[in-house]
Amino acid sequence: MAADDLRPETIAISSGRPPHLAGEGINLPISLNSTFVAGGPISYGRFGNETWHPLEDAISALEEADSTLLFSSGMSAITAVFSLLPHGAPVVASHEGYSGTMSLLKRHHKDGRLEVRFVDITDTKEVISQLQGAAFLWVESPTNPGLGVADVAVIIGEAKKRNLGAGFDNTFATPMNQKPLTFGADVVMHSVTKYLAGHSDVILGSLSVKDPALYARLLDARTSFGATAGPFEAWLALRGIRTFPLRFEKAQSNAAVLAKNLASHSSVSNVRYPGFGAVVSFEIKGDAEAAERVCDGATLIVNATSLGGVESTWERRRRWELESQSIPENLIRLSVGCEHVEDLWADIDTALAKA
């Protein structure tokens, strides 16, 4: 069976394994080496690492990419993408998105490094009107934390028609729901920290591409900026990715149930759940303090930022100064994990009583 025919559960488990040879371990060892004997494929630890490659191959297979580059974090991966754009290049990007991306883009805009055209990425007409004369489209969908959904295939298609480059942050939806390279994106980024690694114990990022020339430019960016991942983190993420499809499916089905339950709870309003993924945002009928009491009032669910771990977490997003002012003060973002859904609902119900 060609690797192309395999399904995500099988890809995640079988890719990046050593050959089936007598006496060979079924897992690769962790390569803890800063330097290598001259004449081989890797000469120095900032240029490559044997523990990165199986993880990069697994992500490539899941995203239907030709190649993937592992980075020290999701943000260093995004930084590498924007570094390829010429000074002052016009970029179309969502005005609502991951706070780290938002502050990076705002800083580039302020410095004149890029001319960022912030748009409502869910408003297809507005996006298309801003593509005129732009160099690059950056898409995050669903958006964070409002969970708006862009018409992804249409806006990427329109960008490509106009010869723009297109990058996609696929951290929230994951390749279980959408594979942006298959509808024309040039580069797909992951915060591997989240669902792919899945255990809230590493910070890593990745970029996946089809075009070898783009791969070479991004590899050069990674090598020269030194945004290289630690081999142990890569190994943990490879171990994590083995169960990514299982975890994600469980978390996603839990999220659908919890979104429905939340929508009929008397202390809750404006539940946002796009119908896929494992993040649910909702508002508490009350003020910021009431939302904080709810986040502190659960036993299982941890009041913590981030998402994509096996354990459920939630937080009031506006506790972050960087969060967009358009996000309500009483909005809670829930990252649904893999616990039993009835235990989670009982925990949420108890916490909501504290609103």
Ligand X SMILES: *Cc1c(COP(=O)(O)O)cnc(C)c1O
Q: Which pair of structure tokens corresponds to residue 316? A: 């009031």
99 contributes a contact to ligand X by CB under 6 A: no
Whether 66 is catalytic:
no
Nearest partner of 337 among 308, 316, 314, judged by Cα? 308
β-pair type (136-140, 165-169): parallel
- Phi and psi at 222, nearest 5°, equal -60, -45
Smallest separation, CB 308 to ligand X (Å) = 7
Nearer to ligand X, 73 or 208 (CB): 73
Q: Which three-class secondary structure state does DSSP give residue 61?
A: helix
82 contributes a contact to ligand X by CB under 6 A: no
Whether 44 is catalytic:
no
Name which position in 75, 207, 262, 348 contacts ligand X (CB under 6 A): 75
193 contributes a contact to ligand X by CB under 6 A: yes
207 contributes a contact to ligand X by CB under 6 A: no
- Phi and psi at 120, nearest 5°, equal -80, 105
188 contributes a contact to ligand X by CB under 6 A: no
68 contributes a contact to ligand X by CB under 6 A: no
Q: Concatenated DSSP letters for 205-242?
A: EEEEES-HHHHHHHHHHHHHHT-PPPHHHHHHHHHHHT
Q: What count of residues does the chain have?
A: 355
Catalytic pick among 117, 179, 194, 210: 194
Cβ(251)–Cβ(336) below 8 Å: yes
Smallest separation, CB 349 to ligand X (Å) = 27
User: What does the alpha-carbon distance between residue 285 and residue 283 come to, in Å, rounded to a whole number?
Assistant: 6
Size of the site for ligand X (CB under 6 A): 16
172 contributes a contact to ligand X by CB under 6 A: yes
Instruction: Count helices and strands (H / E) in the chain.
Output: 11, 12
Whether 46 is catalytic:
yes
Neighbour tally for 251: CB within 10 Å: 25
Catalytic pick among 57, 98, 186, 195: 98
Name which position in 54, 146, 205, 240 contacts ligand X (CB under 6 A): 205
Nearer to ligand X, 75 or 214 (CB): 75
Catalytic pick among 57, 117, 169, 272: 169
Whether 317 is catalytic:
no
Binding residues for ligand X, per CB under 6 A?
73-75, 98, 100-101, 140, 144, 169, 171-172, 191, 193-194, 203, 205
Q: Which residues are catalytic?
A: 46, 98, 169, 194
